[in-house]
Structure 1
Amino acid sequence: MRKIKFGTDGWRGIIADDFTFDNLRIVSQAVADYVNGQGAGHKGIVVGYDNRFLSDRFADTVADVMIQNGIKVYLAGSPLPTPVTAFAVKVHEAAGAVMLTASHNPPEYNGFKFIPDYAGPALPHITGAIEENIARLQGGAMQGRWTDQEQAVELADVFNTRDAVGKATRQGEPSVAERIIIDPRPEYFEHLEQLVDMEAIRRANLEVMVDAMHGSGVGYLDVMLKKVTSAVKQCRCYRDPLFGGGMPEPTGKTLQDVCKWIQEDEGRLGLALDGDADRFGIIDSSGVYVTPNQFLPLLYHHLITVKGIVGPVTRTVATTHMLDRIAQQHGQQVYETAVGFKYIGQNLLEKGCVLGGEESGGLSIKGHIPEKDGILAGLLAAELVAVHGKRLLAIAEDVAKEYGGQLYSERLDVHTTSGRKQMVLEKLQQFNPAELTGIPVTQRITLDGVKLVLDSGEWVLVRPSGTEPLFRIYVESHRPERIKELSREVAVQIGLDE
């Protein structure tokens, strides 16, 4: 039996290969054992799912396992974004949630994510405990717990309901736990309206295109904007489990239809969501993609100077230091974390941070759940344009002038071989130069990979992929031409140039 790896963002696999109903029952049982082991089973578990192939059936299976373990289930009645599933944990005061999603991965994948009771990504000690349960169950502890799935299908025919599949597939006494179908949208919408200046968006009557990329964000960002503006266009706002043949990841390359609409019809803003709506993509009124590294400083500046929400900021090691400049000018602290929103969420909860963000397109703010939320990000982008009366990249120029000049960020992915990867890892461990391109190195950070901060304020980060023979080189500089120079210098020194 193939080992199930329950990692940083849960468990992901290829449908019908390793992401099977049998494996799903094992992972679900591992979570049920964890929840009951914490004495929290009586609070219940929220179960959400996205638009992927079989996600609703997978959600039913998870629900069945929880119920047979005496855990009440709050089951989504329709596909939910990950942040909405997380928010439902708070609404129902549940012990946590299971979200069936593979986020922005290709369509042949599905995944399982556990969200604890604080409504954010599970921290390593929690995922570690679940992995231990999985190993125990794969080692034989699961044997005999379940009857044949065909009996579950027969029960489904008898009850004639979607949620009857697997109703009593676990052997033993029937459970008294119940299954409650939920729709958390009303409470979620009401909550976002308290965080976002919807009236400003109404006054501006922005022309906006929303691209849901066929994901479970359909019916959220578009619906909220339609409440306050009559000029909302929709792109890929319907379910397609194949995601149009691509990946549901909002980047400059994947949002060309939105760029074209803005350029041809003079739209003000393009807003996109990934497959489970926890990541955002933004297109400026010029038809240019706005990177998360460009948007996060605008939002932090806006929170402090317009909304009066002053406090520290948290970012990953790979995220722009423009946030640091803003924090320093306002007397606030910066909390740097390893890559992974779980660490950002922890700082939002424990450090009083008003904004947490990462260069890969995740953010959340004070007063919201400690989970990345692309829907909230899109609404805040609309608020910025409405309040400032300028396109986002023009606001970015103003912010750069106020905080010491423009910064340029880029990520370079360098593929290698498995054998060469090990050699580069060994070199990277010892990589501690006194200077790069003639500029003294003032700081070496090993929080996640190796990051070198130069006396000029520029920085370079090298991170190995955990699963592929691949290294990622992140660079930030005050001059765009320096990015290639610095990345080349680092690649040569650690042996990635061949």
Structure 2
Amino acid sequence: MHIDQSILDKVNEWLTPTFDNDTQNQIKEMMTTSPKNLEESFYKNLEFGTGGMRGIMGVGTNRINKYTLGKNTQGISEYLKKSFPGEDLKVVIAYDCRHNSDTLGKVVADVFSANGIKVFLFSEMRPTPELSFALKHLNCHAGIVLTASHNPPEYNGYKVYWQDGGQLVPPQDGEIIEVIERLKYSEINFEANESLIEYISTEVDEAFAESTVANASFNTSASAKAGLKIVYTSLHGTSIKMVPSVLAKAGYTDVNIVPEQAEPNGDFPTVVSPNPEEPEALTMALALAEKLNADIVFGTDPDSDRLGVAVRDTQNNMLLLNGNQTMVIMTHYLLEQWQKAGKINGKQFIGSTIVSTPMMLELASAYNVECKVGLTGFKWIAKFIKDFPELQFIGGGEESFGFMVGDAVRDKDAVGAILLMCEIAAQAKENNSSVYEYLQQMYVDYGFYKEHLISLTKKGIEGANEIKQMMVDLRENPLAEINGQRVIMVEDYQNATAKNLLSGEVETLTVPKSNVLIYYLEDGSKICARPSGTEPKIKFYFSVNCAIESLSDLPEAEKQLDQKIKNIIAEMQLN
């Protein structure tokens, strides 16, 4: 096959003595046996996306390896020195259960130390939210976690956190990328200064656990905690390091761990995907819940920032909640608790994202707090906390199964969210109610919102081009009517415009630019198209709603909303 000369130039660079013999031999093998794989490995440089940098592990500029991560780290080292002149620089590094995460974590530590920067390196895998906590706890300038979240086993990744404990956001991200791109691979300093690398362990665990219990506990009685039967699975990931101990510290005694999934394993052998967004991932946990007649089920992704939740419905059947539902349940409960404590005075806010349920806006209005809505990714919610120090952050989430309780952790945090959901469930059960009934009453009080997600996977160069073309088509040929409803507004975040199709008025969007399109229909429906920032996917988000007067209206309203979503999907030819 023909390979573009620009790709061959990169390949030839990687065949120089700057790169080790093993790397060169793997490239030579690909040149003779798999030119297609060679092209995929070098056709572009890995980029920072919604949740940092993620990619397939292997050799090449488009792969996760010691050189691509070393170059990132060298660039960040130089940027830190420029940003904090004269300061004794400190960074903290964590890693998850994935293959090579520990060795890649040590490579990153080596490069920082080689550049004279003090490194705190977790001695074993730890949850991503603990890295965010540790950064502030240890008064560091930056933090790195090696993780590919819920991606398949062949992936790994590199997430960068800044002084506030949140992920990189503008302008730092762009400035750092510029520094990284100017570097040559030969400029990476891999020669570790071991005296600058300090291994950390239980002392940070204990501080993180204490902080979590303080932030996510709300006066639940000991008897209510003892009466809640919990099933929990780590899906072979890092949450096993903290969730059981945090629940025990908080007083929950009936915690039943799925034994087959408790052992960390980067192959994730018992699931197709280690993603609690996928119902299949919780199959074993649900089976254990039925066996034990448990009240609630939790599952976390490999780095423990996302959580899946299942609860009993009114027929005593286990029901998987989606991310929008868990988000509004936890947010509403927090708002209730803050109001009861007399802590709401108009100077508080909750956080959400542009692809998440509009129900968050209704909750904010009802409790006289602001709802700040940002782009997809918790780094934007963390940025709100940093940008508005005069406001108190209560909590916030996004539809992709993430939530953040307070501001001690500046990223989605399954550890704290699990404890919060236990508080809600235990108190509801003690009052002869349930999480499910709590949610149903919210639908009566604030409107019945129903969301659905379609995710289309398009791998490789062809897939990337196909996704690009889909977005071009939606922009150049915008839909004027969907399912018999006029499109009244189109928000184009790439062009930073919001166009009212009825009046023709165009407003400027104030959030950072992003490749996202949102259609608003005259009946309140919302449709969003967004290429993933970390996976070879394009995602379509659907939100529909209606008002209901009583709980008895729910079954018929749900049928109607389900049908509306089906009609929209069919008309957009996405099924």
- Tell me the TM-score range normalised by the shorter chain: 0.7 to 0.9
CA contact under 8 A between 1:364 and 1:370: conserved in structure 2? yes
> Aligned pairs, how many?
465
Aligned to 1:181: 200
Instruction: Name the structure 2 match of 1:336.
Output: 373
The residue number in structure 1 matching 2:508 is none
Q: Is the 8 A contact 2:385 2:407 kept in 1?
A: no
Find the counterpart in structure 1 of residue 210 from structure 2: 190
- Out of 469-478 and 251-260, give the one that drifted further: 469-478
8 Å Cα contact 1:260/1:287 also seen in 2: no
Cα offset, 1:39, TM superposition: 1.6
Which of 436, 451, 457 matches 1:393? 436
CA distance in 2, matches of 1:181, 1:463: 39
Tell me the TM-score normalized by structure 1. 0.86
SS of equivalent to 2:177: helix
Following TM superposition, by how much is the alpha carbon of 1:253 offset from its aligned partner in structure 2, in angstroms?
Answer: 1.8
4+ residue stretches of structure 1 with deviation over 6 A?
A: none
Which residue, 39, 63, 67 being the options, matches 1:22? 67
Q: What residue number does 2:305 align with?
A: 278
- Matches of 1:437 and 1:234 in 2, distance apart? 45
- Identity across matched positions, percent: 25
Pair 1:4–1:435, CA change in 2 (3 A): closer
1:2-29 Cα deviation digits (max 9, x unpaired): 4242333222232333322233322221
Measure the CA separation in 1 of the matches of 2:97 and 2:137: 23
Contact 1:51/1:239, CA 8 A, preserved across alignment: yes
1:58-457 matches, within 5 Å, as 58-138=104-184, 140-142=186-188, 145-146=189-190, 167=192, 177-183=196-202, 184-197=204-217, 200=220, 202-204=222-224, 205=226, 206-227=228-249, 228-235=251-258, 236-244=261-269, 246-251=272-277, 252-285=279-312, 286-308=317-339, 310=344, 311-351=348-388, 352=391, 353-389=393-429, 390-404=433-447, 406-414=448-456, 418=463, 421-447=467-493, 448=514, 449-457=516-524
8 Å CA contact 1:258, 1:283 repeated in 2? no
Change (3 A) 1:330 1:42: same
- Aligned residues: CA RMSD: 2.4
8 A Cα contact 1:43 1:94, kept in partner: yes
Residues 544 and 565 in structure 2, CA contact (< 8 A), matched pair in contact too: yes
Match of 1:32 in 2: 77
**Aligned-residue offset at 1:96:** 1.3
Q: 2-side partners of 1:468 and 1:179: how far apart?
A: 33
C-alpha contact (below 8 Å) 1:98/1:112 kept by paired residues: yes
**Partner Cα distance (2:93, 2:149) in 1:** 16
Alpha-carbon distance between aligned partners in 2 of 1:370 and 1:487, rounded to the nearest angstrom: 35
CA contact (8 A) 2:216 2:417 kept: no
CA contact under 8 A between 2:57 and 2:155: conserved in structure 1? yes
TM-score by length of 2: 0.75
SS at match of 1:281: strand
Alpha carbons 2:215, 2:406 under 8 Å: kept: no
Alpha carbons 1:51, 1:79 under 8 Å: kept: yes
One-letter amino acid of the structure 2 residue matched with residue 102 of structure 1: A
Are the equivalent residues in 2 in contact too, given 1:348–1:356 (CA < 8 A)? no
Amino acid corresponding to residue 568 of structure 2 in structure 1: L
> Structure 1 residues 188, 399: CA separation in 2 closer, same or farther (over 3 Å shift)?
same
Shift of 1:208: 0.6
Deviation at 1:82, TM superposition (A): 0.7
Quick one: distance in 2 between partners of 1:124 and 1:238?
A: 38
Displacement of 1:451 in angstroms is 1.2
Matched, 1:464 2:535: no
What secondary structure does 1:226 align onto? helix
Deviation of residue 198 (structure 1)? 6.4
For residues 149-188 of structure 1, give each alpha carbon's deviation from its aligned partner in whole angstroms, at most 9, with x where no partner exists.
Answer: xxxxxxxxxxxxxxxxx645xxxxxx87453534411111
SS of residue paired to 2:269: helix
- Residues 272 and 412 of structure 1: is their aligned pair in 2 closer, same or farther, counting only changes over 3 Å? same
Instruction: Output the amino acid matched with 2:55.
Output: G
Bigger shift: residues 329-338 or 182-191: 329-338
Kindly indicate whether the alpha-carbon contact (under 8 Å) linking 1:315 and 1:335 is maintained by their aligned counterparts in 2. yes
CA distance in 1, matches of 2:396, 2:293: 32
Q: Is the partner of 2:176 in helix, strand or coil?
A: helix
Partners of 2:418 and 2:166 in 1: CA distance: 19
Q: Which residue of the partner structure matches residue 52 of structure 2?
A: 10
State the Cα distance separating 1:52 from its structure 2 match: 1.6
Give the Cα–Cα distance (whole angstroms) in 2 for the partners of residues 464 and 24 of structure 1: 24
Q: Which stretches in structure 1 are left out of the alignment for 5+ residues?
A: 147-165, 169-174
